[in-house]
Amino acid sequence: MLDRTVAPPVQPLARVTLPAADVFSLSSGARLHVLANDAQPVVRLQVVFRAGKVAETRPGLASLTARMLLEGTTTRTARQIADETAFYGASLECDAGFDRSTLTLYCLTRHLPVLLPLVTDVLTNPAFPVAELEQLKTRTIQNISVERQKTSYLASERFNELLFGAETPYGRPFDSVAYQSLTAEEARAFHQAAYVFGNAEVFLCGDVAAERELVAAAFSVGPAASQSVAAPNYNLAASEELMPLAADQVAVAGSLQASVRMGRRWPSLKHPETHRLKLLVNVFGGYFGSRLMRNIREDKGLTYGIYASVAPREYGTSLVIGTDVKGESADFAVSEIQMELRRLQEELIPAEELETVKNYILGKFANELSTVFEQCDKYKNIIFQGLPADYYTEFVQQTEAADAETLRELAQQYFSPEAMQVVIAGPVS
């Protein structure tokens, strides 16, 4: 009979090698990355441009431009774009991030040939209709207004502002007045400069072997850039030693809840200790059995959840610790978080705990490679973060080999409570 009180044995993770992508340089200057897998008759096409917040000439322009691409072209209305996408059971989205903007198409493989003209039309011929632009601006401003009633949003916004600076894309708060003043002409100019196939990285994955030439042809031509997209001149990457300001309070009148955000500037993924630092962050607050969860949730009962995670970006990475608690418990929660930081600096992680976290991290990583789309996401991380090809192989090896003494030394260097910026959004104490 199976004894369910005994956990099944943990098998060591075999060495991991991501499937190799076939990379083709197109005549337009774009690069096409192909990861073929015919397990399912589906495909994902992503066209990525350096058109994120770091490239925008005015605050909010990158997001507005990306979202307007689906609001109509010179040959299709927004309704026609949506109806054509829905008719083929596909999904088409365009989003702007901090560093880049991405148009993503999911569809059945057999529908890709008929949907490709729609994709290229959206990318090359946006009309930026004024009525839709004004409606989009109004909806966005209203949505942000609603979000700013939440302590979690206010805490995160203020935290990023203090960590990176209000004048940088990573720290700039949303400005409704500036956003409202954006025009169709500005969006059109930004599109002409940034959404150029010569600057694009195209990722095609799934059951795509028969469609590669078709996709390559579609992105081999495109508009010439009217101007180059300037590289950001913000000093975002060289400030790991930046000392935080004093603990900051965002007053939210009438709120019963407080949101806590703590953290600091963090080494990039190219740092030689990045894999051991990831392991240390997971011990601290990276999974349900972490020290923060056991202390703040299970023992003290202060919150439903608390986390610590690393937010990697191309020009600046951060460590973020976050939780929501009762207003009167915020200061106590901060002191308990600081205590857990000191424990990692002073005590060796017990062998059983360290082994548990290693197994969790490696098991989660293996699960994240279960589909070709997830494999492509890992591959994209290597491309955009400028990581070595063996990055994930090293991740597995260094995670398995990490020892408690090394982790304590890293905690002494990077986990000092005094180096953490603290923001509390909630009732005035």
Pairing of strands 31-36, 201-206: parallel
Taking residues 137-153, report their average pLDDT. Answer: 97
Domain shared by 159 and 284, yes or no: no
Domain shared by 147 and 280, yes or no: no
Query: Is residue 327 in some structural domain?
Result: yes
Q: Across the chain, what does the average pLDDT equal?
A: 92
Domain shared by 213 and 313, yes or no: no
Q: What per-residue string of b and e applies to 254-282 under the rule 16 or more CB within 10 Å gives b? A: ebebbbbbbbbbbbbbeeebbbbbbbbbb
Query: Is residue 12 in some structural domain?
Result: no
Domain shared by 307 and 400, yes or no: yes
Distance CA(169)–CA(99), nearest Å, equals 9
- Residue 94: which of 84, 76, 81 has the closest Cα? 81
Cα dihedral sign for 354, 359, 360, 364?
positive
Query: Is residue 66 in some structural domain?
Result: yes
**Cβ distance 321 to 244 under 8 Å?**
no
Task: Specify the CATH number for the domain of residue 85.
Answer: 3.30.830.10
Using CB atoms within 10 A of its CB, is residue 320 exposed (0-12), middle (13-18) or buried (19+)?
buried
Domain shared by 75 and 131, yes or no: yes
DSSP 207: S
Please give the residue range of the domain that contains residue 278: 248-426
Query: Is residue 226 in some structural domain?
Result: no
Domain shared by 187 and 255, yes or no: no
Q: What is the pLDDT of residues 283-303, one digit of tens each?
A: 999 999 999 999 999 999 999
Domain shared by 189 and 64, yes or no: yes
Pairing of strands 101-108, 306-311: unpaired
Taking residues 25-53, report their average pLDDT. Answer: 95
**Cβ distance 38 to 375 under 8 Å?**
no
Q: Indicate the residue among 196, 218, 240 that finishes a domain.
A: 218
Domain shared by 260 and 341, yes or no: yes
Count of domains observed in the chain? 2
Domain shared by 180 and 264, yes or no: no
DSSP 76: -
Please report, rounded to a whole number, the percentage of residues in the chain having pLDDT higher than 70.
91
Q: What is the pLDDT of residues 199-256, one digit of tens each?
A: 899 999 999 988 899 999 999 986 544 455 555 555 554 444 556 767 899 999 889 9
**pLDDT interval class at 7 (50, 70, 90):** low
Q: What is the pTM of this model?
A: 0.91
**Cβ distance 151 to 425 under 8 Å?**
yes
DSSP 296: I
Q: pLDDT at position 226, please?
A: 47
